[in-house]
Amino acid sequence: MVSLATFGLMQGADTQTQPAAGAQAPEFTLATSDGSQVSLKDFKGKWVVLYFYPKDMTSGCTMEAKNFQRDLAQYDKTGAVILGVSVDSADSHKEFCAKEGLTFKLLADPGGKVSSQYGSTMDYKGTTMAARNTFLINPDGKIAKVYTGVKPAEHSEQVLKDLAELKKS
């Protein structure tokens, strides 16, 4: 088990450049936990919460995922979809979803290519992992808000608040 504190000490994400609010979100196609392929363009016309996280089955990542799951009905009401991305395999995601009762899509980025496009990789003891960053993407495929170094306990609630504000404007 890797602790929250450990992930707080990781290097990398803070020195990378994330796509900025207003920029077109980088397109991608990744495998899901059920083996199907998902592309960002599949969600055109919807709000997308694209969140990157370090590792399946770790305390902070589990808390963050469970909070998104807890709030899923509220996201559904707003017409938003949640997509989680880590460098873990599709099989690892399948196990994580089953163990924690997650029903939203987790996407496998084992080479870290998509995580890199979003400036969301970090090095942990010589291993590349996704950094804990989130991108709120509007229905036109543009980044509406960027969150870096998020706190798992309160993150989902903050995204919901911001989503409600952005939808008003």
How many angstroms separate the CA atoms of 131 and 25, rounded? 17
Dihedral angle over CA of 63, 69, 73, 77, nearest 10: 80
For the question of residue 61 being annotated catalytic, the response is yes
How many angstroms separate the CA atoms of 169 and 164, rounded? 9
* DSSP-assigned beta bridge partners for residue 124: 127
Length of the chain: 169
- Among residues 13, 25, 38, 61, which one is catalytic? 61
Active site residues: 61
